[in-house]
């Protein structure tokens, strides 16, 4: 197999929307709680009611 | 320099020296990870003025903590220019964000995303960043992504969350 960066987590900026994270990461929340995730969408607009995750609020907020 | 420098008040920036190194403090870049003062209160004490006491610990220890600061808020330089050339400045290396690096998955450091209260997402490890169009921007090893929506250097945090009084807990 060729050497690739396949397992390196990717952070994709979605236009007027969240940050799409693909790959294994550890998320440390504001209260110090740790979560292992393989894929997630993190809010960039500041309006989600389920922070740090995107809940679609960016659409109504007009980010 | 990016837009950021114009927006945030550079006059707040400070320099602190001992006989060997100078530490640069850019409050606009601080994301309050509190790493610095939790680990070395003898040097970094926000309750004191000036808040950095360069004689509170050996130079090596100060450099160690500056290297741990996840942002550009704390950087350092040797006072002796020659030494800056011969020694590796880990912090500056990291700030160059490992651009253009090619790491194989075996070598890649695991990624953590720390969610800062009322602030950005601080990401460390080996990761790749793609822009809105799906183009790979760069390989990075440390950065902070804006989550308040107000940064002028999107997708990265430029410290603006404090200007808008971002409250991530409501
Ligand atoms: S470690 Fe850096 S970012 Fe964190 S509080 Fe200290 S100066 Fe600010
Ligand atoms: S980016 Fe989707 S809710 Fe903020
Ligand atoms: S989170 Fe820092 S500028 Fe938005």
Q: Is the CB of B157 under 6 A from ligand 3?
A: yes
Q: Per residue in B67-114, pLDDT tens?
A: 988 788 999 999 999 999 998 888 887 777 555 455 666 678 899 999
Question: Does B145 sit within 8 Å of A11, measured CB to CB?
Answer: yes
Q: Per residue in B149-158, pLDDT tens?
A: 999 889 999 8
Q: What are the structure tokens assigned to A12, written together?
A: 């994709």
**pLDDT reported for residue B10:** 73
What separation in Å is there between the alpha carbon of A54 and the centre of ligand 2? 4
Please choose from B157, B167, B169 the residue to mutate so as to test ligand 3's pocket, defined by most ligand atoms within 8 A of CB.
B157
pLDDT at B28 over 90: no
Domain boundaries, chain B: 3-96, 112-164
Is the complex ipTM higher than 0.95?
A: no
Range with lowest mean pLDDT among A35-39, B52-56, B160-164: B160-164
**C-alpha pair distances (Å), B95 with each of A40, B29, B154:** 25, 12, 17
């Amino acid at each position: 197999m060729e050497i690739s960066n396949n397992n390196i987590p990717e952070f994709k900026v979605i236009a007027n929307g969240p940050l799409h994270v693909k790959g294994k990461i550890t998320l440390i929340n504001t209260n110090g709680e740790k979560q292992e995730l393989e894929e997630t969408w993190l809010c960039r607009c500041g309006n989600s009611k389920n922070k740090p995750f995107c809940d679609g609020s960016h659409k109504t907020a007009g980010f | 320099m990016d837009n950021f420098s114009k927006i945030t008040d550079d006059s707040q920036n400070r320099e602190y020296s001992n006989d060997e190194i100078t530490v640069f403090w850019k409050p606009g870049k601080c994301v309050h990870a509190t790493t610095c003062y939790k680990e070395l209160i003898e040097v970094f004490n926000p309750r004191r003025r000036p808040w950095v006491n360069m004689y509170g610990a050996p130079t090596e220890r100060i450099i160690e903590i500056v290297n741990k600061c996840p942002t550009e808020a704390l950087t350092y330089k040797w006072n002796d220019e020659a030494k800056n050339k011969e020694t590796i400045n880990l912090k500056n290396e990291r700030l160059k964000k490992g651009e253009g690096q090619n790491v194989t998955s075996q070598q890649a450091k695991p990624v953590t995303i720390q969610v800062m209260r009322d602030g950005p997402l601080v990401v460390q490890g080996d990761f790749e960043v793609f822009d809105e169009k799906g183009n790979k921007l760069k390989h990075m090893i440390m950065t902070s992504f804006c989550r308040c929506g107000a940064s002028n250097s999107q997708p990265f945090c430029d410290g603006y969350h404090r200007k808008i009084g971002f409250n991530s807990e409501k």
